Structure 1
């Protein structure tokens, strides 16, 4: 089953998704997908991984890490399916990152690897845009690289964990304006989801709604205003996002 959060007629609803073309509201009404505003399906903290794919580490000429390289993204960075993301003015390189995301379903502390997947409610997709200009060190991505408002599309929905029985060999793909630019597989992850849950829960408590974004494979490219970027994880979802300029974004999203 797929679960989503949407805005419809001015109200936020928790819905189930039927055949990717319609959502069912709590009162049973069936609404066409194009009639709703898609919101990020979870809004806990996001724990993101750097260099978690062996091919991506090679692409950047780094040795594979020996322990997870993690950073936190705040909920203000999230945006939903079919929404826009802005490219800052006067930067040289902004790239997408197609990622599988594990969504935590119950408090997790000191979880052993063999039990880790019992704590996953389901899976979603994110596009963890990065501003390469501000990257001081791939091992320490700073806030200007990864924590800008509305620069992490998440969604469109959460697929129940039981409906994705094997997350260890899923294809990941990214298209820019219909052209395939990135293709990889979760089989190339350095630290898999059970390892990551064991690692994080060893020193903190993961809460329901928290997300673990598991990194991206090789194949990055620059994106500019006007581009449509589609990221897809096999068996989980296809997430669409459009790039606008900084001026256009803030003109249309005034506080």
Structure 2
């Protein structure tokens, strides 16, 4: 049986959240928004399973065609990304160094992402818009210095990310990537979050990125340098994780920058990120107006 699919949306100027069901969307925010304004608060209250059960008896309030998808967790306290987390990705750097002992991390702002079905925006400052398909974990139970053994107990939900990057802007300074990772609406998260139930959901699943139907990235989570357990353990060593925090866990080899010559995304392209059991995140590309 497929997992429940919770999504955030806008419709007729109103922001809300709901459950994708056959025929459309059950508007959970219309029923529970006063107590839990966004999916972040729903996750904090540990209500995903309860709301999914409740929605089984409800008919959709509107169709998917009537909404615009938004990023599932609209205002996470933290949105942390992991870099260089697949073996072939490490080798792309051609620096002769073995895989690092600890994860490389950087921060993105929610404004740098858009929802499923929306265009990723190529800014006028650079044509070097690139894709990075990744799996997202959403924290449900907070903590500090979380042991690896119990780390998966802190995951509430899973999603997908196209961690779009302006490549030349990640080299604008001596040793940081913040600029190239945070242009408005250059990445996407979605289409939805699905509740996390057990390790089998993420232990060895295929992650694939396609551009205009052509497979560009394909790998399996079992090959990640840093496991989901290790990522949670490491990040929680230096910062307290809280419910609704979003962690983007790394991309396989095959981004456009690694082609010779590089292949940058251009207006009209369609990028799809797909993972077993989670779904497909799809976006077009457009120039900033």
After TM superposition, the score normalised by the length of structure 2 is: 0.79
The alignment of Structure 1 onto Structure 2 pairs a total of residues equal to 246
More strand by share: 1
How far apart in 2 are the matches of 1:177 and 1:238?
14
Gaps of 5+ in 2: 32-57, 257-263
- Please say if residues 19 and 26 of structure 2, whose CA atoms lie closer than 8 Å, have aligned partners that are also in contact: yes
Matched, 1:13 2:16: yes
How far apart in 2 are the matches of 1:136 and 1:67?
22
- Please say if residues 164 and 235 of structure 1, whose CA atoms lie closer than 8 Å, have aligned partners that are also in contact: no
How far apart in 1 are the matches of 2:211 and 2:201?
28
How far apart in 1 are the matches of 2:9 and 2:198?
22
Say if 1:168 and 1:141 are closer, same or farther in 2 by CA, change over 3 A.
Answer: farther
CA drift at 1:29: 4.6
Gaps of 5+ in 1: 249-255
CA deviations over 1:64-112 (Å, ceiling 9, x no partner)? 2211100111111121000111112363532100000110012221211
Equivalent position to 1:55, from 71, 78, 88: 88
After TM superposition, the score normalised by the length of structure 1 is: 0.89
Equivalent position to 2:196, from 152, 161, 184: 161
The equivalent of 1:86 in structure 2 is 121
Equivalent position to 1:41, from 57, 68, 72: 72
How far apart in 1 are the matches of 2:207 and 2:245?
22
CA drift at 1:145: 0.9
Larger radius of gyration: 2
C-alpha RMSD of matched pairs (Å): 2.1
